[in-house]
Copies of this chain bind each other. A is one copy, B any other.
Amino acid sequence: MALKLCSTGLVVEENSSYSFASLLDAILRGIGQVFLQNNSYAGLLFLIGIFYNSILFGFAVLVGTIVSTMTAISFGVNKDQIRAGLFGFNGALVGIALLYFLQPESLTWAYVIFASACSTVAMASAIRLFDVWKMPTLTSPFVLTTLCFLLACARFGRLHSTQILPTAGLPMVITVVDGVVNFSTVVEGLFKGIAQVFFQENAVTGGLFTLGLFISSRRAGVMAILGSLIGLMVAWGLGASEPAIRSGAFGFNSALTAIALGSTLLAFNTASVIYTMIAAVATVIASAALSAALQPLGMPALTLPFVVTVWLFFLGSSLFNKLRN
């Protein structure tokens, strides 16, 4: 097996049988898989949505997806997993998250490339680990990799964070409710909630993402809207601050939970729709809890609330006979 070093420093099999078209397809599906859609058109629309909001983030997503997919190919992952984009979506998110929280300097790009390669190892590891329960990895490899690479910056003087990275602090019980929620908060928050899955606080981008979801699966589109709306409403009812609600901060995890349970993992019947809605509400509590839990580390919760809630409701579903058809 002849090996050569390619320009990104990763090892690629010389007579690799991936055509350019099949690689492009795998990469677009990888971007689509961020919303659990194994669909290259959806992936393309997501990518357009990101480039619409920011060229920097568009490139970050591309670099992350390409590096993580190439790493998987280099170490010999089975073709069907590559083609489904399973080794692209974590890299896509790692790329965008690191450039969201770190200054776009050359060392950061090197860091992004290495982190994206590591996300492939984390994904392979997660697949093997959760296979015992036939449980999906969701975006756990992305969360693990990103938190690890962001936390590490506290020890390394040459990596510089942006102002967006939360400051470490002790969580305090807030007693005031900030700002007044009105109709524009709800509409903006709804679509920004969907856009925030890719860290884009932009309602038009959220609209493009929703369109991509409807192209791939009507049920996924409906679930994303319902999930984001539930996230927003519950956060409002419990007294979250208006700016946080408007920014979509309480929408994206619930949207992902609704898509995962409501259109992918469970059989479709009345009980499972109710179950999915309970999970979407629970995701809001989990978001608040995990964001507070990570505060002493100055770390964002990312999509961890979605991951943890869906795991819980997915594992639990096996004991609930009403959720079967």
CB distance from A284 to the nearest CB of B (A): 8
Most chain B beta-carbon neighbours within 10 Å: one of A152, A153, A235:
A152
Query: How many protomers of this protein does the assembly include?
Result: 3
CB < 8 Å: which of B1, B148, B154, B176 contacts A157? B176
- Is A243 in contact with chain B by the CB < 8 A criterion? no
- CB neighbours of A114 from chain B (8 A): 281-282, 285
Cα–Cα distance between A122 and B125 once the two chains are bound (Å): 23
Nearest chain B CB to A321 CB, angstrom units: 3
A216 located at the interface, meaning its Cβ lies under 8 Å from any Cβ of chain B in the complex: no
Q: List the one stretch of A33-41, A75-83, A194-202 in contact with chain B.
A: A75-83
Nearest CB in chain B: distance from A235 CB, A: 8
Q: A238-B156, A288-B154 are in contact. Are A315 and B3 (CB under 8 A)?
A: no
Closest chain-B Cβ to A40's Cβ sits at a distance in Å of 23
Asked if A218 CB lies within 8 Å of chain B CBs, one says no
Known: A128-B316, A160-B175. A152 touches B289 (CB 8 A): yes
88-107 of chain A: CB within 8 A of chain B: 107
Q: Is A164 interfacial (CB-CB < 8 Å)?
A: no
Q: Which residues of chain B are within 8 angstroms of A147 by Cβ–Cβ distance?
A: 289
**A158-174 vs B, Cβ < 8 Å mask (1 yes, 0 no):** 11110001001111111
Q: Which A residues fall within an 8 A CB radius of B?
A: 1, 3, 11, 13, 74-78, 81, 107, 114, 117-118, 120-125, 127-129, 132-133, 147-161, 165, 168-178, 235, 237-241, 244, 270-271, 274-275, 278-279, 281-282, 285-293, 295-298, 311-323
